[in-house]
Chains A and B, each alone.
Chain A
Amino acid sequence: MVVGLINANPVVYEKKERRSRQAPETTDENAAEAIDQLEIFDHIRDIKDPEHPYSLEELNVVTEDSVEINDELSHVRVTFTPTVEHCSMATVIGLCLRVKLMRSLPPRYKVDIRVAPGSHATETAVNKQLNDKERVAAALENPNLLDIVEECLSPTFA
């Protein structure tokens, strides 16, 4: 499908060590367990890049610091950094992040996805598209696009 790779020689970074998450201090089994930054990062770090056999973590597209969370307000924001400024895969990466979080988080969460400021030539347009839920819904009804998303997400369900 893709004739030439958008970024033929990406820099590959080492995966960060997986920290085991601390057990919650409260022993009240009925208390809702707060979701934290690391938990969100764990959901998305293994998403495969659409054009490389590497994960978004290995390409530094997402780091733990990409994730901002306000558990009280049920709000999550993921800021990712495309590997090149003109990355036409940015919307696909953003769609993968959104779908993964849609499937992993409780429905009460509001999720905003954006590219890092200054990291993309058409930053405003990409951000607008990624946060228009009607466009996202329509994109996910496109079987070809959904196949690409599913393939990128498959390592995260391993």
Chain B
Amino acid sequence: MAMDGGAAAVLREAHRLTGHTDRVWSLAWNPSPGAGAGPVLASCGGDKAVRIWKRAADGAWQCSDVLEDTHNRTVRSCAWSPDGKLLATASFDSTTAIWEYSGGDFECVATLEGHENEVKSVSWSASGSLLATCSRDKSVWIWEMQPGNEYECVSVQQGHTQDVKMVQWHPILDVLVSVSYDNSIRVWADDGDDEWHCVQTLTEANNCGHSSTVWALSFNQKGDRMVTCSDDHTLKIWDTSADLSQPKTSDNQESWRHLSTLTGYHNRTIFSAHWSSEDIIASGAGDDAICLFAEDKSSMVEGPSYRLILKKEKAHDMDINCVRWCPQDPRMLASASDDGTVKLWELRGNALD
């Protein structure tokens, strides 16, 4: 990999995107912006709006679209479909909206209703045919996309005992992960008969899990590792190589397991973690800092360990709610904050040596 001559890794603020009038909660890079198009970023927040950001030919970033007047409360999260054609937005107004870009405009083509209160997260499965949502009502819903912008709820899962903070599909398999205010991580799969079940629960007592609210999770590209982050100020790395999408055949079947706990790097709630295609983990927290981690390949004696590449103090003026690596440019990181801004960062130097 080409690196600039042995310099220590630095995270340089390249662009500052302003326009939101309240805290920015969440970010999503379009995984498939189209042939010849540059990266496209969606952001959403407490101003009830979604903003679409694009890089112009001269390299400057501008807001191309503002999606508003659909949600009447905070837009908590957003997610692009794998083909990049649809954007889903989850709101405290208890609905999830589906937007389609057509004729030069974003149009709301469907509204998913059913949750009793705040929807906190939405995620598309790798195939794009399934959608998951979660809410303060403690439930996880799985929706199937039908022709004609119809979405049918195929399952409502009630396993969590408190509000569910985030849902995220596995990058390859139809396996769903949810994380919660109840401190647990739950893994969901169907039994091959379209019946969805909780196939594993990762807790502090049984799995070396988190001791407070789990806010977010992210898989690596292959899907054999997962990172979670928490109000307990730690990040945890999990071995997710066991295929939980297959029906259980025996009691001693392999399951997901704790690999490593990254502690002492943030001193307030860690709200977001994201795994890059170059295997760099970014975290953003209530201490206004961004940390980057990579696997330490030199010490495999006691299993894989992860080392801090860098910590960017005061990356924002207030809490950082979301960090996302750009899929088309794995050295570009986007961050969103309570300070109302979105920042784009360039990672330089030999981060992975």
Contacts and interface: CB of A to CB of B under 8 A. Distances in A.
Interface of A: 107-108, 110, 128, 132-135, 137-138, 141
B286 A110 contact: yes
Contacts of B76: 134
22 contacts: A107-B318, A107-B338, A107-B339, A108-B318, A110-B268, A110-B286, A128-B181, A132-B181, A132-B213, A133-B286, A133-B319, A134-B120, A134-B165, A135-B136, A137-B23, A137-B46, A137-B74, A137-B92, A138-B73, A138-B118, A138-B136, A141-B73
A133 B118 CA distance: 14
Contacts of A133: 286, 319
Interface in B133-150: 136
Contacts of A138: 73-74, 92, 117-118, 136
A108 B288 CA distance: 9
Contacts of B287: 110
B120 A108 contact: no
B267 to A, nearest CB: 9
Interface in B56-91: 73-74, 76
Contacts of B339: 107
B212 interface: yes
A110 B212 CA distance: 19
Given A107-B339, A138-B136, A128 B268 contact: no
Interface residues of B, number: 24
A134 B321 CA distance: 10
Most chain-B Cβ atoms within 10 A of its Cβ — which of A107, A110, A134, A141? A134
A128 B162 CA distance: 12
A59 B185 CA distance: 42
Interface string B315-336: 0011100000000000000000
A101 B23 CA distance: 17
Interface of B: 23, 46, 73-74, 76, 92, 117-118, 120, 136, 163, 165, 181, 212-213, 231, 268, 286-287, 317-319, 338-339
The 10 closest A-B CB pairs, nearest first, are A141-B73, A138-B118, A138-B92, A107-B318, A141-B92, A137-B74, A141-B74, A107-B317, A137-B46, A110-B268
Contacts of B117: 138
A134 B120 CA distance: 9
A138 B338 CA distance: 15
B229 to A, nearest CB: 14
A110 B176 CA distance: 34
A141 B318 CA distance: 21
Nearest to B46: A137
A128 B212 contact: yes
Contacts of A128: 181, 212-213
A142 B210 CA distance: 30
B118 to A, nearest CB: 5
Given A133-B286, A134-B120, A137-B92, 10 more contacts: A133-B319, A134-B76, A135-B136, A137-B23, A138-B74, A138-B92, A138-B117, A138-B118, A138-B136, A141-B73
A138 B118 CA distance: 8
A100 B205 CA distance: 38
A138 B317 CA distance: 22
Contacts of B46: 137
A19 B121 CA distance: 49
A108 B339 CA distance: 9
A69 B136 CA distance: 32
Nearest to A73: B267
B37 to A, nearest CB: 33
A137 B338 CA distance: 11
A144 to B, nearest CB: 14
Contacts of B286: 110, 133
A4 B118 CA distance: 30
A133 B212 CA distance: 14
Nearest to B45: A137
A134 B269 CA distance: 12
A124 to B, nearest CB: 10
Contacts of A134: 76, 120, 165
Nearest to B340: A107
B68 to A, nearest CB: 16
A132 B23 CA distance: 15
B164 to A, nearest CB: 11
Nearest to B339: A107
Nearest to B72: A141
Contacts of A141: 73-74, 92
A108 B23 CA distance: 14
A132 B46 CA distance: 15
A124 B21 CA distance: 33
